Amino acid sequence: MLLRRGDPTGAGERLSAAVTDATAHRLPHQLQRVIRVTGHALPAIRECAEQGLQGLRQDMAA
């Protein structure tokens, strides 16, 4: 919502917190949502979410 309203800073802060929480609580679907939402608008946060998702996938495969 914040991205659509033109507030990338606010959106980035909230999405960054969401990535941290989703990784800590092992919630891959939340990371996938962040990846979809960020698109090309917030590449650094998208990258963090992708790394977190990859880590969860590796943990599940082990």
User: Is 1 contained in some domain?
Assistant: no
pLDDT-based confidence at 1, cuts 50/70/90?
low
Amino acid 5: pLDDT: 76
pLDDT digits (tens, 9 = 90+) for 40-62: 899 999 999 999 999 999 998 87
Amino acid 27: pLDDT: 96
Q: What is the pTM of this model?
A: 0.87
pLDDT digits (tens, 9 = 90+) for 6-33: 788 888 999 999 999 999 999 999 999 9
Structural domain count, the chain: 1
Supply φ then ψ for residue 28, to 5 degrees.
-60, -35
Distances in Å between the Cα of 57 and the Cα atoms of 2, 22, 31, 50 are 29, 13, 11, 10
Amino acid 39: pLDDT: 87
User: Is 26 contained in some domain?
Assistant: yes
Torsion of CA 44, 50, 54, 57, to 10 degrees: 150
User: Is 40 contained in some domain?
Assistant: yes
Nearest CA to 45 out of 9, 1, 5 is that of: 9
User: Is 2 contained in some domain?
Assistant: no
Cβ atoms of 53 and 36 closer than 8 Å: no
User: Is 19 contained in some domain?
Assistant: yes
Where in the sequence is the domain holding 29, given as residue range(s)? 8-61
